[in-house]
Homo-oligomer: A and B are copies of this chain.
Amino acid sequence: MIQEKAQPLLRYINRYIPLTKSEEDKLLAKVTYRKYLKNQYIIQQGDICKYECFVISGCTKTFHLDTEGQEHIVMFSIEDWWTSDMGSFITQTPADYSVQCIENTEVIQFSYDNIEAIYDQIPRLERFFRQIIERAFVASQKRIVRSFSLTAKEQYLYFKKQYPKIEQRIPQYMIASYLGITKEFLSKIKSQIVLDQ
């Protein structure tokens, strides 16, 4: 079961580092497959995050609920992306974010209890995770700069260009939340863009 389901994960890992058959088996013994329905929560803000998830199919949003009850989306995850509240996972303290499925979603879960053993038994996987996180950090820093140096319209055009697959699967009001603007203003931007052409 896990052997078939985890194929996309193995393919993904092999783009970074080569794994021997034995290493693949060791890994698959330590992870689990799970299916969520649309609207289900993978993590709830306030809970302790027990898993890092690799998305096999579907789509999730990671968001923070602020003191005013406003939702701020920090990322979307589709096939071949990761999702979790890493801060909560690495420190085992209450999560700052919720992760909710926007579509029916299949994931491979790396549990907190097993992740150390995975690193110890397959050192190359520790390298792999280091590289993944380095890239995530770089992307996050760039997003901060964009939010300071680009107008809302420019940020929206960047998002469309960079993540065309995500843009088409997700309601506009969630994209607005991701960009840090209101859905009304995104609507205005879109009608402006139509006029531009």
Contact = CB atoms under 8 A, between A and B. Distances in A.
For the complex formed by this chain, how many copies does it contain in all?
A: 2
Contacts of A141: 74, 86-87, 140
A123 interface: yes
Contact of A149 (B70, B87, B145): B70
A106 interface: no
A24 interface: no
**Interface range for A:** 20 to 34
Contact of A96 (B96, B142, B180): B142
A128 to B, nearest CB: 10
A83 B16 CA distance: 25
Interface string A126-139: 11011101111110
B137 A86 contact: yes
A144 interface: yes
A17 B77 CA distance: 32
15 contacts: A64-B149, A66-B149, A74-B141, A74-B144, A74-B145, A90-B131, A119-B127, A123-B126, A126-B126, A137-B137, A137-B140, A140-B140, A147-B147, A147-B180, A148-B180
Interface of A: 64, 66, 68, 70, 72, 74, 86-87, 90, 96, 119, 123, 126-127, 129-131, 133-138, 140-145, 147-149, 180
